[in-house]
Structures are given as C-alpha cells and as structure tokens.
C-alpha cells in the first residue's frame, strides 16, 4: 500500500516581533484583553519587501534540508495561502523558481486557515495515485498586509510566517501502525461566507481588501466543526482518540484549541501550542507548530499526529499521520 510519508519539516518566521503592548499603543486594547480572550502574547510581522514567497522559500529550504533530499527529487509544490505575492501567477511558482526547481508542477491552494490541511490532502492524493513521488507542501502567509490596523477586533489576532513539509511516497503494509498519512478529510460550506472574509479582490474591488470577521459566531462554529471532522478521521482508520500522541491544531485561539482538545479528552501536554508566540498565521499555523514540535524532539518517529483546522469559507479539515 502506498503512503505519503512526512520526511522533513521546516519553518520560518519574520524577524520582527510585535507584542500586545505595542499594539495597545495603536488601538484601544491591552495585553490582558488579548491574552485572556485568545492566548496571544505576540506575533511576527514581515519586513517591508518581504513577501509570502520569501517566507515560503525559507521554510521549504529548511524542510528539504531536514529531509536530506535534493531539489531534483521534487515533483510537486502545493502552497496554501490567502495572501499570495501577486494576483497571478501562483506564489508556488515563485518558490519553485527560488528553489531552482525546473521540472514538475507548482500551484497554490486557497482554503485560508484550513489551507495547509487542504494542500496536504491534494498532495497526499497525488502521491497515493502515483502521479508524483516527492512533494513539498507549504503554508505561508503575510496576513499583516490584509489587516485593518485600526480595527482592534481583528488586527490583534493574526501574524505572518511559513511552514513546510516534504512528503515522499513509500510502500508499506498500510495498517494504522505503518508510517505515513493515514487519512485526510476536508469540508466546506459557503453559506458562512459573511462571517469571515476579506472585503476585496481582483474581480470585485481591484484591491486585496482587509479581514472582516464576526468573531463570536466563528468561535461557535469552530469547535463543533473540528470535533466532527476529527471524529470522522478517527472512525475511518478505526482508532480511538486515546491513540493520538499529539494534537497539532490550527492556532487561531487558545480557547478553541482547549475546547477541541477537551472533546478528545486529550491532556494539555499532548497539544502543541504556538498561538501565544505566533498568533493566527492562517495556512502557516499547522506546519509551523508541527515543525517546532518535530524540531525540539517532542514528536518522534512512530507517534500518531492529528492535525486539524477551520477557517474562512467556511472550510475545515483534518489529517492523521503516523510519523
Ligand atoms: N481589545 C479590547 N476590546 C476588544 C478587542 C480588543 N482587541 N476586540 C474587541 N473588543 C471588545 C468589543 O468591542 C466588545 O466590546 P463591547 O462589549 O463594548 O461591544 C467586547 O470586546 C466583546 O467583543 P466580542 O467580539 O464579543 O469578544 P469575544 O469574547 O467573542 O472575543 C474573539 C473576540 C477573540 C475574536 C473571539 O470571538 C474569537 O476568538 N473568535 C474566533 C475567531 C477566530 O479565531 N478567527 C480566526 C480565523 S478563523 C479560525 O482560524 C478558526
């Protein structure tokens, strides 16, 4: 049975850190309010002239180095972003060029905060059906560029960053103890568009727009949808929630993460948290958290890792992988 194995992880965060206290000088907010409602203490913000493709390329280089694979092995780049460098071409082709990859295919996937799970699902299916052997899956964002920095209800929540994984097709027995992605599940429901969107775009306003959100309503949907999709994933592979070694959730809000972990009866020490330092980096948040926990040795070979995310669209999904 063919499985997509995670053979390398990498991440990159822009140098500049913006603390809650710094934001409190710009809008009517406080470190206390932001930390209590979201768990966020600081976020990284891209420098002038530093684009999504730059962050993505740095993360990709680190993932390839961890995988110990040459660029020439890559067949596919799938990049998840809601903040592309340009309207076209795909930011993935910018990364392809920067890496010096001259064959294969590179394209973007748009599912906002669920983007990395969607990109994993796409790449996993390419590998499983034999259309590619080695894929780079990237989540990269510069949300700082589409925030209304005068709107305290949204500007405190997001940050910039990128994370990447290298997937390689491997043959194995194919049961749940076998290394690789065991399942991916993705969903969307366009009826919830108005609860979270950017109020611009090339076809409508010819500008990128800024984030608009009804936070309280998004919050209510998040735990419900995440619980559903996690249940669906576990049921498919026939494993109980107690088999999960690590939950690597989308890092939108500490309260959403804790709520989802509680539903799974997972203790806090088995949940990877970066939201305090990175804030919500949209499609980058899951691979950033994964790379951190693999890099510091918490996630080890053989561990069962559950990744999940929910975001604008609404979109939501989960990926279950044996490392
Ligand atoms: N500082 C101080 N006060 C604020 C701030 C701020 N930064 N932002 C809003 N407030 C005020 C509001 O104006 C409101 O004041 P009022 O009562 O005088 O009208 C009050 O705080 C309460 O506002 P709510 O929006 O009801 O606050 P809530 O407790 O719901 O917290 C939050 C807001 C943190 C956005 C929460 O709803 C949330 O986390 N929602 C999830 C949204 C999310 O994470 N989205 C990310 C993308 S989707 C995803 O990734 C899952």
Please give the span between the terminal C-alpha atoms of the chain, in angstroms, as a whole number. Answer: 16
The confidence score (pLDDT) of residue 175 equals: 84
The confidence score (pLDDT) of residue 173 equals: 79
- Whose CA is closest to 56, among 100, 89, 99, 5? 99
User: Ligand 1: which of 115, 196, 216, 312 to mutate, judged by most atoms within 8 Å of the beta carbon?
Assistant: 216
Nearest atom (ligand 1) to Cα of 310: 51
Query: DSSP states of 106-124 as a string?
Result: EEEE--GGGHHHHHHHHHH
Residue range 17-45: mean pLDDT, rounded: 98
Predicted model pTM: 0.97
Residue range 119-134: mean pLDDT, rounded: 97
pLDDT class for 140, splitting at 50, 70, 90?
A: very high
Percent of the chain with pLDDT over 90: 97
The torsion region of residue 216 among left (phi > 0), alpha (psi -120 to 50) and beta comes to alpha
SS3 295: helix
Residue range 126-140: mean pLDDT, rounded: 97
Pocket of ligand 1 (CB under 6 A): 29, 33-34, 37-38, 113, 152-153, 156-157, 196, 213, 215-216, 218-219, 222, 250, 252-253, 280, 310-311
Do the domains at 2-171 and 180-322 have one common CATH topology?
yes
The per-residue pLDDT of the chain, averaged, comes to 97
pLDDT of residue 171 exceeding 90: no
C-alpha span between 312 and 225 (Å, rounded): 12
Cβ atoms within 10 Å of 270's Cβ, excluding its own: 15
Name 247's Cβ contacts closer than 8 Å, sequence gap at least 6: 260, 261, 264, 266, 270, 271, 272, 305, 306, 308
Element (H, E) at 95: helix 91-99
CATH number, domain 2-171, options 3.90.1150.10, 3.30.70.3270, 3.40.50.1820, 3.40.47.10: 3.40.47.10
The confidence score (pLDDT) of residue 1 equals: 84
* Ligand 1 atom 5: residue of nearest CA: 153
pLDDT of residue 15 exceeding 90: yes
pLDDT of residue 179 exceeding 90: yes
Crossing angle of helices 285-295 and 115-128, in 10° steps, is: 70
pLDDT tens digits for 189-229? 999 999 999 999 999 999 999 999 999 999 989 999 999 99
pLDDT of residue 177 exceeding 90: no
Active site residues: 113, 250, 280
* Ligand 1 atom 30: residue of nearest CA: 216
In the CATH scheme, what is the code of domain 180-322?
A: 3.40.47.10
- Whose CA is closest to 288, among 141, 127, 98? 141
Residue range 11-21: mean pLDDT, rounded: 98
Query: Rg of the chain over CA atoms, in angstroms?
Result: 18
Write down the residue that tokens 């290394």 correspond to. 179
pLDDT of residue 172 exceeding 90: no
Q: Structural domain boundaries of the chain?
A: 2-171, 180-322
C-alpha span between 113 and 282 (Å, rounded): 4
N residues, the chain: 323
- Whose CA is closest to 10, among 295, 248, 276? 295
* Ligand 1 atom 20: residue of nearest CA: 153
């Amino acid at each position: 049975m063919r499985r997509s194995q995670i053979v390398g992880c990498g991440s990159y965060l822009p140098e500049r850190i913006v603390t809650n206290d710094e934001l409190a000088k710009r809008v009517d907010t406080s470190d206390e309010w932001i930390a209590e409602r979201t768990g966020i203490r600081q976020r990284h913000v891209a420098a002038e002239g530093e684009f999504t493709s730059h962050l993505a390329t740095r993360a990709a280089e680190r993932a390839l180095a961890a995988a110990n694979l040459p660029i020439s092995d890559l067949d596919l780049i799938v990049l998840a972003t809601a903040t592309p460098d340009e309207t076209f071409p795909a930011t993935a082709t910018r990364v392809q060029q920067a890496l010096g990859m001259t064959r294969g295919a590179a394209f973007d996937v748009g599912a906002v905060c669920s983007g990395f799970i969607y990109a994993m699902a796409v790449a996993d299916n390419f590998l499983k059906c034999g259309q590619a052997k080695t894929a780079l899956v990237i989540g990269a964002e510069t949300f700082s560029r589409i925030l209304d920095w005068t709107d305290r209800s949204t500007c405190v929540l997001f940050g910039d960053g990128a994370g990447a994984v290298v997937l390689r097709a491997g043959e194995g027995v194919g049961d749940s103890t076998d290394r690789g992605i065991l399942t991916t599940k993705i969903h969307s429901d366009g009826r919830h568009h108005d609860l979270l969107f950017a109020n611009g775009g090339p076809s409508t306003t010819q500008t990128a727009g800024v984030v608009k959100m009804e936070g309280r309503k998004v919050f209510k949907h998040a735990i419900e949808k995440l619980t559903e999709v996690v249940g669906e994933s576990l049921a498919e592979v026939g494993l109980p929630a107690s088999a999960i070694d690590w939950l690597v959730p989308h890092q939108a809000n500490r309260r959403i993460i804790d709520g989802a972990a509680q539903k799974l009866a997972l203790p806090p020490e088995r949940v990877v948290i970066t939201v305090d330092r990175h804030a919500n980096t949209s499609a980058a948040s899951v691979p950033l958290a994964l790379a951190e926990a693999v890099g510091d040795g918490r996630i080890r070979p053989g561990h069962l890792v559950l990744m999940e995310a929910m975001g604008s669209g609404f979109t939501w999904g989960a990926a279950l992988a044996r490392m």
